[in-house]
Structure 1
Amino acid sequence: MATTTDSNTIVDRRYDFVYLFDVADGNPNGDPDAGNLPRLDPQTLQGFVTDVCIKRKIRNAVAALTNDEPGHEIYFQTQDAVYEKRILNRQHQRAHDAIGDGAKSKDDSAKAKADKTRQAREWMCRNFYDVRAFGAVMSTGVNCGQVRGPAQITFARSVDPIVPMEVAITRKSVTTEEEAEKQSKKDGSITGTMGRKSTVPYALYVGHGFINPLLAADTGFTYADLRLFFDAMIRMFDFDRSASRGLMAVRKIYVFEHASRLGNAPAHTLFDHVKIEPLGLEKPPRSFDAYELGDKLGDLREKLPKGVTLHELPEEFDDFQPGS
């Protein structure tokens, strides 16, 4: 394959990756069905973090890194976004307005409607980074079609079983005058309120991801988008808005770059090369130093099939030029 140097070139080769992150004294992904306790596999007691949670953090990082510059708006907004941006059909209407379909067309044939939907879909891909990367169902009322994105992420699962903890917390203030008066009459002072906080003392999580060039061609996902994707993933906890996250950090991202769009090896055979082993310490792990990454990087690269290149992030990010 010819060398690709233009960052605006559509991604034309496959990428598979393994990502490692850890949490200390925080809740990486609360379960609303379990009182917001950290998510847990009941059979293995391993913790897990959903793909939706990871994508939300990547979206937040992309928004912070690009400041919503043209082509990098975020379709699925957070709760602190302005009212209009959280209503998806308003975003869809922007697409139809942009392609000149604001007024009802006289031609209401199936072909005309399909063509307008296709144009609106293309506009959404051009303007919204997360639509271009992750895809979206945009056929809700104001129809912009559906998009399957090239960037797919799995759940992340902890290496070891976790022990979720609930910690009692106090707040020495009250919300209303009525509550203040009630506490003062009973205790002689404002005693405050009690609450609980769910945490994981420490856990190392491992997840996997894929970049599909066949879908990249459909959404217009470029090598510049891909580099931004990994930049956002490296820094996703720096821009995390969760108040209960504790200390979280992306420790490693192993990116396997294929020389072809169909790939030069099955993804699972590449993932099997990345081994994370506990050091066998007598006490429970409480830091990343309690684990050993199986093969040294040089040894790992020697085992790779022909046509597969390994990039270790964040250490090699400055020199990481995907597609070159």
Structure 2
Amino acid sequence: MNNSEILFLYDAKLTNPNGDPDEENRPRMDYERGINMVSDLRLKRYVRDYLADQGYPLFVQKMDGSPVTAETRIKKLGTSNDQEILDQLIDVRLFGATMPIAKDNKQFIGPVQFNWGYSLNTVKVLESSITSTFASSDNNKQGAIGKDFRVAYSFIAFSGVISANRGKATSLKEEDIAELDRALRYAIPLQVTRSKIGQYPRLYLRVEYKSDMTILGDMRDYISLKEKTEDIRDISETALEVGKLVDFLKENIGKIDSIHYFCDSKCILLNHDVEVTFQQAFDGFTLIEVE
């Protein structure tokens, strides 16, 4: 197993990508720049929910529909042996965990890490009032009134790293990474809730290197969103410029084993302002599509 780096893009239309409980569940924002923010924990939750739906037992999960303590979850596993626990729990192999084993806390540092995601465009937050059919209290028979916050449109980019050396410590498997690839393709639209509907994965690259020593850096530095109109509201009003990224990766092609990818048909790619397919843009690399 060797190192990989990830670029993951999805968009959000009239939805709330990541509510902030300290701000009335408003979408997380850098208000000075008008940038929508999404935490790495939100992305990992999508992955965990997808893996749970695929039948994988997880460390971070509810039991019988209710939250439990870490101690209770460990007892349910029926073992305190490190390796047996790792063999059972794909989320620990991927993301690590601090686990109460015996009288100590055993820390596994996750080989898969993501930065916070941020929007490539400036984002407007829309606010509306919502009402409930149920009375707000026994003494007030009127329905409760609340606030609903959503982004008008946000094109969100995440960067991630897979460390081969840390993967050895958690017994990370190649099959686990393949499941991560599939989760990032399918998890978000499959985990639809009222506040999350309207989000779709648009582009995914996992650049797999030839060694466990190579890290080239955040690929978001080499992409930009071209907006066909002011105040965009839909992916049809955008195009993604990847020319600098292609050039950068070609400069380092000797370090790259393969690129695992998917590209949504609605995501228009530009290579230095020329519209191209994904295969045309990344011609010369070993490309493996995530099915």
Deviations 1:33-67 (A, max 9, x none): 111100011332211000011101110011112x1
Amino acid at match of 2:72: R
Q: Aligned pair count?
A: 267
Contiguous gaps of at least 5 residues in structure 1: 1-11, 100-119, 184-190
Amino acid at match of 1:98: T
Distance 1:83 1:168, change over 3 A: closer
Counterpart among 85, 94, 97 of residue 136 in structure 1: 97
Residue matched to 2:79:
98
Deviations 1:78-136 (A, max 9, x none): 5xx426772210222345x436xxxxxxxxxxxxxxxxxxxx22222111111111000
Residue matched to 1:146:
107
Distance 1:219 1:298, change over 3 A: closer
Residue matched to 2:262:
313
User: Could you tell me how far apart the structure 2 residues matched to 1:56 and 1:22 are?
Assistant: 17
Conserved? CA contact 1:149–1:215, under 8 Å: yes
Residue matched to 1:278:
226
Distance 1:223 1:284, change over 3 A: same
Describe how 1:1-324 pairs up with structure 2 within 5 A: 12-65=1-54, 67-68=55-56, 73-78=57-62, 81-82=63-64, 86-94=68-76, 97-98=78-79, 120-139=81-100, 142-143=103-104, 145-174=106-135, 178-179=138-139, 183=141, 191-240=142-191, 242-263=193-214, 266-268=216-218, 270-273=219-222, 275-281=223-229, 283-295=230-242, 302-308=250-256, 309-314=258-263, 319-320=288-289
Residue matched to 1:104:
none
C-alpha deviation, 1:291, in angstroms: 2.3
Deviations 1:58-77 (A, max 9, x none): 10011112x13xxxx11111
Distance 1:122 1:241, change over 3 A: farther
Secondary structure in 1 matching 2:165: helix
Distance 1:243 1:279, change over 3 A: closer
Conserved? CA contact 1:85–1:91, under 8 Å: no
C-alpha deviation, 1:258, in angstroms: 0.5
Amino acid at match of 1:92: I
Residue matched to 2:276:
none
Conserved? CA contact 1:157–1:206, under 8 Å: yes
Conserved? CA contact 1:276–1:291, under 8 Å: no
Conserved? CA contact 2:259–2:288, under 8 Å: no
C-alpha deviation, 1:319, in angstroms: 4.5
TM-score, length of structure 2 as denominator length: 0.81
Amino acid at match of 1:287: D
Considering only CA atoms, is the larger Rg found in Structure 1 or Structure 2?
1
Deviations 1:246-299 (A, max 9, x none): 300111111111111212x5224x5544x1222342x31111222222136995
Secondary structure in 2 matching 1:286: coil
Conserved? CA contact 1:60–1:240, under 8 Å: yes
Secondary structure in 2 matching 1:86: coil
Residue matched to 2:283:
none
Distance 1:142 1:231, change over 3 A: farther
Secondary structure in 2 matching 1:152: strand
Conserved? CA contact 2:95–2:111, under 8 Å: yes
Secondary structure in 2 matching 1:172: strand
Conserved? CA contact 1:152–1:211, under 8 Å: yes
The structure that is strand-richer by fraction is 2
User: How large is the RMSD of aligned CA atoms in angstroms?
Assistant: 2.8
Amino acid at match of 2:216: P
